[in-house]
Amino acid sequence: MKIVLLDTLTFGETDISAFATLGEVSAYKTTAQEQTQERITNATVIITNKVVITKEHMLQAKELQLICVAATGTNNVDLEAAKELGIEVKNVAGYSTDSVIQHTFSMLLYLVGHSRYYDESVKDGSYSRSPIFTDVSHPFFEIKGKSWGIIGLGSIGRGVASVASAFGAEVSYFSTSGVEREEPYKRQSLEELLSSCDIITIHAPLNEKTENLLGYEQLLTCKDGAVVLNLGRGGIIDEEAVAKIIDEKNLSFGLDVLTQEPMVQNHPLLSVKNSDRLYITPHIAWTSIEAREKLIASVVENIRDSFSL
């Protein structure tokens, strides 16, 4: 069995030696579009995180039996072509739930607590020159008693809701799927949630119902002082709208995902005046050490199951 890993750089320092127990392994840190075909031509198994696998790739990979997506989303693989050609496709779900929940609160507390300002004010010597023992120039609020709205109440959304409740927040949600189900939290329309919540977090997939869900007009209805975090997918929030409104209204934004990744140079968000109310991380919410270890272990298990090893 020939196993080809196309973008191991996305796994960081995670141990991938277990793949060698399953067959002959070829591992590449990154794979450009023009390199894909050559690298997978003789593969029995392809492992890809973000490298795109097309029908043409599959047609020329005569030995290919399994495509393992080292992620939850499978939009980088032509699933219809794989089904037509009898090539199995397996993804991994649930491996990063705890990591994303944790990063949600990391982003919130960084913004709410003005961590950038206070860290810099100590390190640049400002605190040493202070006439008093404290600094109350950047007030922060407590999560307890605040209204927390969740867009997308899947496994991650429910986990965030549970922790938010433990902080004492009053949790409500908007269902992006529209499916009716029993939940311990109040269900609201998007309009109600945006206008009433102090904290809004997004944990939804990107699809026809969520693309550009929050544009300029929607963000304009948010409460003064609200914090909006996107840990779902880029494209759910209109980033140009964020760049505009953050300099017009007292709103704070935390973004772990963007429409295009890596972030494009000269992105409008890099030129906002109120940058202290904007926190962007490079799609790292899923990347805890434990999550990446679970991911690799699950991909290995997917291969074992497919070949009854």
Give the 3-state secondary structure of residue 165.
helix
Is the bond leading into 131 cis (omega within 30 degrees of zero)? no
Which tokens sit at 246? 């953050």
CB 245 within 8 A of CB 219: yes
CB 202 within 8 A of CB 230: yes
- DSSP strands (E only) in the chain: 2-5, 24-27, 45-48, 66-69, 88-90, 147-151, 170-174, 186-187, 199-202, 227-230, 252-255, 278-280
Q: Is 39 a catalytic residue?
A: no
* Bridge partners of residue 48, in order along the sequence: 69
Q: Which residue among 114, 203, 283, 292 is the active-site one?
A: 283
Closest by CA to 278, choosing from 302, 258, 295, is 258
CB 66 within 8 A of CB 81: no
Q: Is 80 a catalytic residue?
A: no
CB 172 within 8 A of CB 147: yes
CA distances from 155 to 178, 205, 301 (A): 16, 12, 22
Question: φ and ψ at 139, to 5 degrees?
Answer: -65, 145
Q: Which residue among 39, 57, 103, 233 is the active-site one?
A: 233
Q: Which residue among 84, 142, 191, 261 is the active-site one?
A: 261
Q: Is 24 a catalytic residue?
A: no
Question: φ and ψ at 40, to 5 degrees?
Answer: -105, 0
Give the 3-state secondary structure of residue 48.
strand
Question: φ and ψ at 235, to 5 degrees?
Answer: 100, -15
Q: Which residues are part of the catalytic machinery?
A: 233, 261, 283
